[in-house]
């Protein structure tokens, strides 16, 4: 089967890498892909947001399955576009249609969905420029810090957590005044949840689901979880505090009602659901949904799947996921993201990356690289995710940090403390 993976980051490289291990004869394509996917797939240089170009790539390469990596094409309706085109036949698309992608694309929709289905989440209300006075009174009824969320996709920058009431009011006015454009025309204000975060993931064919390994990512640029938010500086799976009993609560209270809720609302959801969770004194709450896999979480989730990943995707395509099984490795996988100096603010590009050939103990997932005159150079903020597995988190981290030490480029940065909060007593 010919499969097209859409996207160009570490997540898409990891998906391509996992599918390349399938026992089934697969021919893989990545669009646009990166130098990492080029080693195991044919890269097609098109933008996943250019739906007509994607359609043409599907036809030209006799693609029978498209796996959508990032959220933007899902929210813009790539699945609807491809599925509803009769000339593409029974092309399978892994990734929800626009309606389902609203779980991620609209915070107001996601919160309303959770309320309708009794899924635990922070108390909230939604406001528009016309109801700003009500928003301020609602904030008065909450204890600080105040959590303000732009309704729409805002490239990870749409969530503000503010301690001071007056500052929160002025930020609220700026958001409703258009700071995030259309994405901020509605603002969700919610109760602050105190706890420790982790993420759960499922793949679903709209009726049944399979739970993938859970993960914890490290979003802040600085060690000790300080400084600005990034796309993710590293990740660990499994998460030591995600005990069997905690994960059973996640399944009963969150995963089942979410998949059943989608069915009850007539939303045909085929793809991944990413549950951003807060463990509040042993009880799980949903912080957010995403309609895709996480990045860099994918780089630690997929290495722990021992069964054939393609089998699960096929179960989604044929809507018979209930007959497919997943085998998860007990090993720990970690990833350390190497980033460009200056990231997540402005950073330079085009620096030569050396030493990747000397890495033997880890798998390198390319996130922001390109090939320039046969040299590997940086082309993004997040450059390479360095993934290792081991019988313990410590042994996996040792391998990743040793591999990171072999790689260099001008301005290279990374966090030296991935997993710091999961060690020793905090388990
Ligand atoms: P989101 O984009 O919704 O995942 O929010 C970004 C980050 O803000 C989350 O990963 C949490 O760390 C934090 N956050 C969001 N909502 C809450 C909340 N209600 N209580 C505490 N922290 C939150
Ligand atoms: N690492 C967080 C995300 O993919 O949204």
Closest ligand 1 atom to residue 122 Cα is: 19
Task: Please tell me if the CB atom of residue 295 comes closer than 6 angstroms to any atom of ligand 2.
Answer: yes
| Helix boundaries (H) for 61-143 | 71-75, 78-83, 98-105, 107-116, 132-140
Q: Is 359 helix (H, G, I), strand (E, B) or coil?
A: coil
E strand intervals along 102-208? 124-127, 146-150, 159-162, 187-190, 196-204
Do 333 and 363 meet the contact criterion of CB atoms below 8 Å apart? no
Q: What is the C-alpha separation between 237 and 279, in angstroms, rounded?
A: 16
Strand 159-162, strand 146-150: pairing: antiparallel
User: What was the pLDDT predicted at 423?
Assistant: 83
Nearest residue (CA) to ligand 1, atom 5 = 159
Q: Where in the chain is the domain with CATH 3.30.470.20?
A: 196-422
Q: How far, in whole angstroms, is CA 317 from its chain's centroid?
A: 21
Task: Please tell me if the CB atom of residue 151 comes closer than 6 angstroms to any atom of ligand 1.
Answer: no
Q: What is the C-alpha separation between 332 and 62, in angstroms, rounded?
A: 37
User: What was the pLDDT predicted at 22?
Assistant: 98
Measured in Å, residue 156 CA sits from the centre of ligand 2 at: 8
Q: Where in the chain is the domain with CATH 3.40.50.20?
A: 2-97
| Helix boundaries (H) for 188-338 | 244-249, 256-264, 298-301, 309-317
Nearest residue (CA) to ligand 1, atom 12 = 197
Topology adopted by domain 2-97: Rossmann fold (3.40.50)
DSSP class of residue 10?
H
Q: What is the C-alpha separation between 243 and 416, in angstroms, rounded?
A: 26
Task: Please tell me if the CB atom of residue 232 comes closer than 6 angstroms to any atom of ligand 2.
Answer: yes
Task: Please tell me if the CB atom of residue 225 comes closer than 6 angstroms to any atom of ligand 1.
Answer: no
Does the domain spanning 123-190 belong to CATH 3.30.360.10?
Answer: no
Q: Which of 89, 54, 86 is nearest to 68 (CA)?
A: 54
Measured in Å, residue 103 CA sits from the centre of ligand 2 at: 14
Q: What is the C-alpha separation between 114 and 130, in angstroms, rounded?
A: 25
Enter the pTM of the model. 0.95
Do 96 and 74 meet the contact criterion of CB atoms below 8 Å apart? yes
Q: Where in the chain is the domain with CATH 3.30.1490.20?
A: 123-190
Measured in Å, residue 165 CA sits from the centre of ligand 1 at: 18
The two three-digit tokens of residue 294, written as one number:
């996480």
Closest ligand 1 atom to residue 288 Cα is: 3
Measured in Å, residue 370 CA sits from the centre of ligand 2 at: 22
**Nearest ligand, measured from the Cα of 217:** 2
User: What was the pLDDT predicted at 184?
Assistant: 65
Nearest residue (CA) to ligand 2, atom 3 = 294
Closest ligand 2 atom to residue 219 Cα is: 1
pLDDT, tens digit (0-9, with 9 covering 90-100), for 158-167:
889 999 999 9
Do 107 and 180 meet the contact criterion of CB atoms below 8 Å apart? no
Triad 58, 59, 61: Cα angle to 5°: 70
Task: Please tell me if the CB atom of residue 99 comes closer than 6 angstroms to any atom of ligand 2.
Answer: no
Low-confidence ranges of the chain (pLDDT < 50): 425-427
Q: What is the C-alpha separation between 334 and 383, in angstroms, rounded?
A: 16
Measured in Å, residue 122 CA sits from the centre of ligand 1 at: 10
User: What was the pLDDT predicted at 426?
Assistant: 46
Q: What is the C-alpha separation between 288 and 80, in angstroms, rounded?
A: 23
Look up the CATH number of domain 196-422.
Answer: 3.30.470.20
């Amino acid at each position: 089967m010919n499969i097209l993976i859409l996207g160009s980051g570490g997540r898409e490289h990891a998906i391509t890498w996992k599918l390349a291990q399938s026992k089934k004869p697969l021919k893989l394509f990545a669009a646009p892909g990166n130098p990492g996917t080029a080693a195991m797939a044919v890269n097609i240089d098109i933008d996943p947001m250019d739906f007509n170009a994607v359609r043409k790539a599907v036809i030209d390469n006799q693609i029978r399955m498209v796996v959508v990596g990032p959220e933007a094409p899902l929210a813009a309706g790539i699945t609807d576009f491809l599925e509803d085109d009769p000339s593409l036949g029974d092309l399978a698309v892994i990734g929800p249609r626009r309606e389902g992608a609203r779980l991620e694309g609209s915070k107001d929709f996601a919160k309303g969905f959770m309320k309708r289905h009794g899924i635990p989440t922070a108390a909230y209300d939604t406001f528009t420029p016309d109801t700003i006075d009500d928003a301020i009174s609602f904030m008065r009824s909450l204890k600080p810090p105040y959590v303000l969320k732009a309704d729409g996709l805002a490239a990870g920058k749409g969530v503000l957590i503010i301690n001071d009431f007056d500052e929160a009011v002025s930020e609220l006015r700026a958001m409703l005044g258009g700071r995030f454009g259309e994405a901020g025309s509605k603002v969700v204000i919610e109760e602050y949840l105190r706890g420790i975060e982790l993420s759960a993931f499922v793949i679903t064919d709209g009726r049944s689901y399979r739970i993938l390994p859970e993960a914890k990512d490290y979003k802040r640029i600085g060690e000790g979880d300080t400084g600005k938010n990034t796309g993710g500086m590293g990740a660990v799976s499994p998460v030591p505090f995600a005990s069997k009993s905690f994960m059973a609560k996640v399944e009963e209270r969150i995963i089942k009602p979410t998949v059943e809720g989608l069915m009850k609302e007539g939303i045909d959801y085929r793809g991944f659901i990413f549950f951003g969770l807060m463990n509040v004194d042993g009880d799980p709450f949903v912080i957010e949904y995403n309609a895709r896999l996480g990045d860099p979480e994918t780089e630690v989730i997929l290495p722990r799947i021992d069964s054939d990943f393609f089998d699960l995707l096929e179960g989604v395509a044929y809507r018979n996921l209930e007959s497919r099984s997943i085998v998860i490795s007990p090993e720990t996988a970690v990833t350390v993201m190497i980033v460009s100096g200056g990231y997540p603010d402005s950073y330079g590009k085009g620096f030569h990356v050396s030493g990747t050939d000397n890495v033997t103990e880890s798998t390198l997932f390319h996130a922001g690289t390109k090939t320039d005159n046969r040299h590997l150079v940086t082309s993004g903020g997040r450059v390479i995710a360095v993934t290792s597995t081991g019988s313990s988190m410590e042994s996996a981290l040792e391998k990743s940090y040793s591999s990171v030490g072999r790689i260099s480029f001008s301005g290279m940065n990374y966090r030296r403390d991935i997993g710091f909060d999961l060690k020793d007593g905090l388990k």
